[in-house]
Structure 1
């Protein structure tokens, strides 16, 4: 019998190594879209990318934002970034957060509550061209977008009933913004949700740590690795050895 739930991810090149879930739900299919022919897994079904872009980030974003194009035979989809390990039964989240909405995400781990703050952070971390980010920020506010009281969602995990018509409209719009402006999807999602008028649920960040473990991407630079540890929560220390920086987690018991 065809399963209703799919967990999926996308990996381009060697940016991430495919991570096996610590908890496997037999009621879910697990699909990894990739151009890396060396990927092997006993859990994940490896599927080649259908669309390719010069920027590999856009190649993975295309899969990430448009599950209705790739996974239309499933009722529910759960996206996870390639650096995330599943450690609990994530189908529980669908029952909790997709009852009254077609999309749900976790709150931003650093409690950013405005597009302005997200753009500033992206510029500082050199996540995209400064001129692109500033243009996009100013455009959104000029079109009437106003920041609310809620946190901006983090997009490393996305729960969706992805075949709903209004959500498809929103996801196509989201992709258009990522393709046209900055590729930073956390910048564009709040505006798109406001413009299309789709309700979405924000999940408390503490729940993220109950269901997932987030590591740094294999291709990340030093600043990105620090951000990964901040996202994961808890304490960490930065050490140097032979002129290289190393980051290690500190358990709360030993702090």
Structure 2
């Protein structure tokens, strides 16, 4: 009996142990079930996130494709517009280009090739610009697009007359119309000493106004052999006592002496080609006594003086003496500045005569760079630079063609 009770007690103990283990297993099962449920929930959440991301990716890919299409379209439109600008500009000469570089292209193919490749090989689009020189500043910008959008004097890279093949016809038409005119409105004039300006550039202006005479003063023996050169009536110098530059400046500042048979005059430097009737219309409609282009880069004589000295184009001592005189007189900085490659005057006007005489006196005594004196003289006479100015001729690319001095 005692043995039986002992066995029974052991069995009860064992059963209790098993029940404890069973409870632990049940708890573990419950824990695992809950973990599985949590994982299932997380899986569902992750699946939802993945779906959201997939939709977002698809949306972004659609947007990317649309942006790429828009970018491609914008580039195509930009290329089309730039090629239109180049092709319609004076800088594109299809026949010259394919002949010079031995290309077998149609007109459209030639323009497309030059636009994409040719300029990168320093192929010039016409005979009168130097792509390599322009690229030294324009970098990766197409040189013609750079020229068309430039606010500097990069047009000085134009080194040949693009209108030379039309000279004879233009001059013949001008002289025929001139013979039929009922009155002369004035004189366009210039002065060439030695070989300062290329004769081909000088021969005529693209636009010749038959109401105006064209007069060329020179000491060039080849020019003086004939009474006319292109549209110009050739005359000998009226002043030659100083250096060639100042001799030209004397003619520039003395229309009231040279052109006494005319009431108004237009001075044009020998490297300026007048392309349209822009200036003549301005003269006829605005009735001003003096018109000169603004300077293309600066608005201050003192800045111009520094630029002249930095470029080494005149005696620094003369420049310094002129600046000292102007400062001592109280001439203000940034009063305005003109580029005097074109000067229109009603040259019989008494005040204009005084301005011209004083301007010449400064050029004769101080710097030969006439732009260093004009604003100062205007200021002395109470004339603002802006009141006598129009847009710089280098920037009015449709109306003027400014070539490089030889």
Q: Indicate the TM-score class for this superposition, using the shorter chain for normalisation.
A: 0.7 to 0.9
**Conserved 8 A contact 1:68-1:168:** yes
Whole-angstrom distance in 2 between the partners of 1:10 and 1:208? 23
Give 1:87 shift. 0.9
> Structure 1 stretches of 5 or more lacking a match?
219-255
Cα offset for 1:148?
4.2
CA contact 2:183–2:211 (8 Å) conserved in 1: no
| 1:95 is aligned to 2:284 | yes
Q: Deviations over 1:140-186 (max 9, x none)?
A: 0111111345x411000011111100110110000000001111110
Q: Helix, strand or coil for the counterpart of 2:270?
A: coil
Greater relative CO (CA pairs within 8 A, separation 6+): 1
2:293: which partner in 1? 106
Mapped to 1, the partners of 2:239 and 2:292 lie a distance apart of: 25
- The Cα of 1:2 is off from its aligned counterpart by 4.9
- The correspondence of residues 32-181 of structure 1 with structure 2, limited to 5 A, is 32-39=216-223, 41-89=229-277, 90-97=279-286, 99=287, 101-110=288-297, 112-148=298-334, 151-181=336-366
Partner SS, residue 252 of structure 2: helix
2-structure distance, mates of 1:189, 1:58: 15
Distance 1:15 1:57 in 2: 9
Superposed displacement of residue 95, structure 1:
2.5
Residue 390 of structure 2 is matched in structure 1 by 203
Distance 1:129 1:42 in 2: 36
User: Structure 2 vs 1, CA of residues 93 and 202 (structure 1 numbering), >3 Å: closer, same or farther?
Assistant: same
User: 2:257 is paired with a residue of what secondary structure?
Assistant: helix
Checking the alignment, whether the CA contact within 8 Å between 2:203 and 2:232 is kept in structure 1 is no
**Could you say which residue in structure 2 is the equivalent of 1:245?**
none
Higher strand proportion (structure 1 or 2): 1
Residue 31 (structure 1) aligned with residue 215 (structure 2): yes
Instruction: After superposition, give the CA deviation of every residue in 1:194-226 in whole Å (9 maximum; x if it has no partner).
Output: 1123454210226632321001111xxxxxxxx
Kindly indicate which of the two structures has a greater share of residues assigned to helix.
2
Taking the aligned partners of 2:282 and 2:203, their CA distance within structure 1 comes to 20
Change (3 A) 1:2 1:72: farther
User: 1:96, CA displacement in angstroms?
Assistant: 4.3
Q: Which runs of 5+ in 2 are unaligned?
A: 1-181
Deviations 1:38-92 (A, max 9, x none): 1251310001001112310111101101100001211211110011111111311
Q: Which moved more, 1:61-70 or 1:50-59?
A: 50-59
Q: Is the 8 A contact 1:8 1:78 kept in 2?
A: yes
For the residues of structure 1 that align with 2:220 and 2:195, how far apart are their CA atoms? 7
Task: Give the greater-gyration-radius structure (CA).
Answer: 2
Q: Is the 8 A contact 1:167 1:198 kept in 2?
A: no
**Residues 19, 82 of structure 1: 8 Å contact kept:** no
Q: CA deviation at 1:105?
A: 0.7
CA distance in 1, matches of 2:276, 2:392: 15
Q: Secondary structure at the match of 1:213?
A: strand
Please, what TM-score do these two structures have when normalized by structure 2? 0.51
